[in-house]
């Protein structure tokens, strides 16, 4: 199986130079260093003089497990090189330089190629083709919004610098707005996504996730046990793979993956309306949501009360529209999107998955046992297509999502290859 995530951590084998410029957000970088190490990376910390006003080198050394560099004149050997050229040697084995926090002043330095301290020196002296520069801005909202800062951001992007954030929220100064450095877990997610292969670059992916809720009265309804975790994992994996991702989510309480556009819905009809009209503008549609097959034909405007007769109320049900079938029908005519359906079964998984493949007329069905996975963080899948089936073993849902997205990318490439077109 290709593109299998490393079992030791998402950043295993990566060497990150973690730079700190001056700012109160340095306190977050302590947790970031710890999280990077936990994710499997080796971390070399470099601090500016201003950063040392907010956090000590001793703290960062304890968390990274490596000596911290703060001066361009530091003559300690780096990776065996004892030539007093830390600004060069520190990045030669690095997979990336991540500056977090990156102050407005430091960003201006980068823009103009100024190099008056060790961190700005190594950013300038790194090998651009093998050691990308990543920055996480952190500053007051007015500083971030200032035209000079925005010009600097635009030019840094044009120069190849990758910018993570900033976020919006309450700031240390008491003001509220854009300029907060992303949280450590958000930066880890950004960094992991940055290093992932990009087989879906330039593609648009539409994913549905979670259950639907079909109201009976103002307080009750028909739903199911789907947690949405698998669909959210697929959205994240597709975004990591370079796609522009839209996630249509039923009623779940999950954080939106970074870089993913989210549309919240409640009922099957709302999900249908959010998905079907624009599905043809996407390259891939993954129908992970557990959509209710039926809904009450009418909605009681008031809560249905017990009347003392011991007779349960009777509801007339009507069938919900089939979202996957509707999109698959479009795809047969227009040639897109590539449709992937999910089959959550309680028994005879392979049999029911194949029947669904044929009934929906889609190229791929992903089968799983619903009662064994609803609400859990792990799963096992079976991929069913016209040629046969393949099992994906028990693993966490993000790992499975990455495998599935890799498989979808290969199927798209095969479908769109000139050789395949000639065969058709």
Given the residues 26, 131, 173, 339, the one annotated as active site: 173
Asked whether the beta carbons of 59 and 31 are under 8 A apart, the reply is: no
Asked whether the beta carbons of 48 and 115 are under 8 A apart, the reply is: no
Structure tokens that stand for 270 in this block: 């709302």
Taking the C-alpha atoms of residue 262 and residue 249, their distance in angstroms, rounded to an integer, is 7
Structure tokens that stand for 422 in this block: 């000639």
Question: Could you give the C-alpha distances from 346 to 111, 312, 349, 385, in angstroms and in order?
Answer: 58, 28, 7, 20
Residue 203's region, left for phi above 0, alpha for psi from -120 to 50, else beta, is beta
Return all residues near 366 (Cβ < 8 A) that are at least 6 apart: 340, 341, 342, 343, 353, 381, 382, 383, 384, 404
173 noted as active-site residue: yes
Structure tokens that stand for 228 in this block: 């949405």
Residues annotated as catalytic are 173
């Amino acid at each position: 199986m290709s593109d299998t995530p490393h079992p030791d951590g998402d950043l295993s084998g990566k060497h990150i130079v973690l730079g700190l410029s001056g700012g109160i957000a340095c306190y977050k970088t302590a947790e970031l260093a710890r999280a990077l190490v936990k994710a499997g990376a080796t971390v070399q910390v470099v601090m500016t003089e201003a950063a040392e006003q907010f956090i000590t080198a001793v703290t960062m050394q304890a968390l990274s497990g490596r000596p911290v560099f703060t001066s361009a004149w530091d003559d300690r050997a780096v990776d065996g090189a004892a030539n007093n050229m830390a600004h060069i040697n520190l990045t030669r084995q690095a997979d990336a330089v991540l500056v977090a926090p990156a102050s407005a002043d430091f960003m201006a330095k980068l823009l103009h190629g100024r190099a008056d301290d060790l961190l700005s020196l190594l950013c300038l002296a790194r090998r651009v083709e093998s050691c990308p520069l990543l920055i996480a801005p952190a500053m007051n909202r007015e500083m971030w919004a200032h035209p000079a800062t925005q010009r600097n951001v635009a030019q840094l992007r044009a120069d190849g610098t990758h910018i993570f954030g900033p976020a919006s929220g309450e700031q240390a100064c008491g003001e509220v707005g854009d300029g907060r450095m992303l949280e450590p877990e958000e930066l880890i997610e950004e960094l992991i996504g940055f290093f992932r292969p990009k087989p879906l670059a330039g593609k648009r992916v539409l994913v549905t996730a979670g259950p639907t809720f079909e109201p009976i009265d103002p307080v009750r309804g028909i739903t199911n046990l789907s947690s949405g975790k698998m669909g959210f994992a697929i959205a994240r994996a597709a975004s990591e793979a370079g796609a522009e991702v839209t996630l249509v989510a039923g009623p779940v309480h999950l954080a939106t993956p970074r870089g993913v556009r989210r549309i919240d819905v409640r009922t099957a009809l709302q999900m249908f309306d959010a998905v079907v009209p624009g599905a043809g503008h996407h390259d891939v549609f993954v129908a992970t949501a557990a959509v209710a097959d039926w809904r009450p034909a009418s909605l009681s405007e008031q809560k249905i009360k017990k009347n003392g007769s011991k007779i349960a109320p009777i509801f007339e049900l009507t069938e919900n529209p089939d979202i996957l079938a509707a999109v698959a029908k479009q795809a047969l005519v227009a040639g897109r999107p590539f449709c992937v359906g999910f089959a959550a079964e309680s028994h005879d998984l392979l049999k029911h998955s194949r029947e669904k493949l044929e009934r929906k007329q889609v190229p791929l069905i992903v089968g799983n046992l619903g009662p064994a996975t609803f609400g859990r963080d792990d799963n096992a899948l079976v991929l069913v297509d016209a040629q046969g089936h393949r099992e994906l073993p028990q693993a966490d849902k993000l790992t499975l999502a990455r495998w599935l997205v890799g498989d979808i990318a290969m199927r798209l490439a095969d479908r769109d290859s000139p050789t395949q077109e000639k065969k058709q």
